[in-house]
Chains A and B, each alone.
Chain A
Amino acid sequence: MDVTIRDEGDTKVVVLQGKLDTNTTPDVESAINSLLDDGVNNLLINFENLSYISSAGLRLLLATAKHMEGSGGDLRVCSLNEMATEVFELSGFTAIIDVYASEQEALGGA
């Protein structure tokens, strides 16, 4: 799992590549927690290169969304592949986390 973080205006964009499963989630979690600890308020997670997401990955996203909701921040995700979209929708998480078709769209709505 590769985690790339870059700035797009006041938004931190986290690009994930590979599989977000039980083994890789702790690395991503520590990367995201560092951003949250630094007081990042606008976070966009790009799933474009993510091939698989497990319940551990979903849990990380939910926990992040909950944290940011508590701190008045904003979490968005974008470019979900078919599998991730289905899991998101079947889990009902699209009602909790803002999902966008592309990074451009997500940043435009920021």
Chain B
Amino acid sequence: MIIREHSAFRLCWDALILVLVIYSCVLIPYQLVFLHSVELVNNRLMQAIGLVFLCDIGLNFITSYRNAGVEILDSKTIRKHYLSGLFAVDLIANFPMDLLVAAAGDPQVGGFSAILLLRLLALLRLFRFFVILRRWESLSWTHPGYLRVFKYVGVILVLTHCIACLWFASASIDEFPADSWVVVANIETSEPLSQYIRSLYWTITTMTTVGYGDITPSRSVEYLLACVIMLIGASLYAFIIGGLASLLGNLNAAKNSHWEHIESVEQYLRSRQVPASLGMRVHRYYEYLWERHKGLNERTLLEDLPDSLRLDIMLHLAGDVLRDVHLFKHCSTMLRNTLLVALKPATYAPGNYLAREGEVGKNIIFITQGEVEILVGEDEVSHGTLGPGDYFGYLSLALKEHRSASIRACDYCEVLILDKSRYDEISTEYPEFLQVMKQVSAEHSGRASQLLLEGIVL
């Protein structure tokens, strides 16, 4: 039996392991340094947690993994991969050595419980934390940026916690000498939690280079430890906080990039002394693009995709178009698919022109959302509107004539554009295309003839 790495069961199990890893990494050093006794905190619970991790080792032997993007499902390969990878670390981290020691009572080593010292090996469970997050990063519905932030925060917290425990242990291992920082701070007889908070406070002030100076090292070993912690703190915080800042920035990368682009355009418009009202129209257009497409350019975004994948996306996106645009209703599946891949999406803001009077028609434009107005002459006399499902441009293409009217968006319009070259290609490759166009034109001849009688060629 093989468990798929992205199955619901494995996801839930991994979530449980993740929580237990963090719990272990926090509790084990705390228990060793501040509580000193295996019985004081959740001894049975720790053994139960150990059992869960042993089960996890078993499950890792039958959980699929990815190699170069391909999920490996062969049980023999999975076993070999795990054995040559993290099995040894997992075994050391989770082997119940503390139970063996417990059989001989609870011998003390340097004033510490041998059981608790052995349990420090369980900190190696932290490797599992990274393995699980890496597995989750490959899930389609997770945001890799958020997972990386979670990883950074987790590492910072666990590291800070462990250093705080180490800092207190530097005094407790020598049974609190009179010149140790714990005695100087007068907390040697305080509650464990209070001692921990003071130690954590010093660790954070040191690692963040704040250093208030109310708690200071006074013995050589403490100075030495403080130096190491300062070095770790300075380098690690620069690395982690820098990475974190970059990650948080990247979480909104698309938005930032979109607004940077708007600022550049607006700066250009101002420098060219474009009227404020026109600048505002540009601004609103970009606002709409963000709301509608999150700043992503569908045209370039989909160009990288293979045709088959782009077609599946277009079929999904063009559900309304296929239903509303009459042309598609009469097309065969092959022709419809070819058209969908050939069509280029575009967005127009209110007041923007989709076509200008006098220009040579170079495309057919299918309106999928919004309404456009047909305007003629310098006075822009309205000759009606076109809406979702309507299209124009074929007469100008067929007659090779200049358009005799402008088309202006009344509101935000989404359109699909078939340019002349693709129109010619498809007409040649699919003779059915022209037949379909003719059929649709015949069905809508009333409107077309009315526009032509009014002298309008689109």
Interface residues of A (CB under 8 A from B): 54-55, 58-59, 62-63, 66, 86-87, 89-96
Interface of A is mostly: helix
Instruction: Specify the chain A residue showing the minimal Cβ separation from B456.
Output: A55
Q: In the assembly, what is the distance between CA of A92 and CA of B455, in Å? A: 16
A91 and B453 in contact (CB under 8 A), knowing A54-B401, A55-B401, A55-B404?
no
Q: Given A91-B448, A92-B449, 14 other A-B contacts at CB below 8 A?
A: A59-B452, A66-B453, A89-B438, A90-B394, A91-B395, A91-B449, A92-B444, A93-B448, A93-B449, A94-B442, A94-B445, A95-B442, A95-B445, A96-B449
Nearest CB of A to B129, in Å = 66
Would B455 and A59 count as touching, CB distance under 8 A? yes
Would B455 and A86 count as touching, CB distance under 8 A? no
Residues from chain B with a CB closer than 8 A to the CB of A86 are: 398, 434
Q: In the assembly, what is the distance between CA of A33 and CA of B173, in Å? A: 116
Asked whether any CB of chain A lies closer than 8 Å to the CB of B170, the reply is no
Q: In the assembly, what is the distance between CA of A32 and CA of B455, in Å? A: 19
Would A91 and B434 count as touching, CB distance under 8 A? no
Asked whether any CB of chain A lies closer than 8 Å to the CB of B399, the reply is yes
Asked whether any CB of chain A lies closer than 8 Å to the CB of B441, the reply is yes
Instruction: Specify the chain A residue showing the minimal Cβ separation from B427.
Output: A86
Instruction: Specify the chain B residue showing the minimal Cβ separation from A85.
Output: B438
Would B453 and A92 count as touching, CB distance under 8 A? no
Would A55 and B442 count as touching, CB distance under 8 A? no
Interface residues of B (CB under 8 A from A): 394-395, 398-399, 401, 404, 434, 437-438, 440-445, 448-449, 452-453, 455, 457
Instruction: Specify the chain A residue showing the minimal Cβ separation from B435.
Output: A89
Residues from chain A with a CB closer than 8 A to the CB of B442 are: 89, 92, 94-95
Q: In the assembly, what is the distance between CA of A58 and CA of B401, in Å? A: 13
Q: In the assembly, what is the distance between CA of A91 and CA of B449, in Å? A: 8
Would B399 and A54 count as touching, CB distance under 8 A? yes
Residues from chain B with a CB closer than 8 A to the CB of A91 are: 395, 398, 441, 445, 448-449, 452
8 contacts between A and B (CB under 8 A): A55-B399, A59-B452, A87-B399, A91-B452, A92-B440, A92-B445, A94-B442, A95-B442
Q: In the assembly, what is the distance between CA of A66 and CA of B398, in Å? A: 23
Residues from chain B with a CB closer than 8 A to the CB of A55 are: 395, 399, 401, 404, 452, 455, 457
Nearest CB of B to A55, in Å = 4
Residues from chain B with a CB closer than 8 A to the CB of A58 are: 399, 452
Instruction: Specify the chain A residue showing the minimal Cβ separation from B437.
Output: A90
Would A90 and B438 count as touching, CB distance under 8 A? yes
Q: In the assembly, what is the distance between CA of A91 and CA of B437, in Å? A: 9
Residues from chain A with a CB closer than 8 A to the CB of B437 are: 90
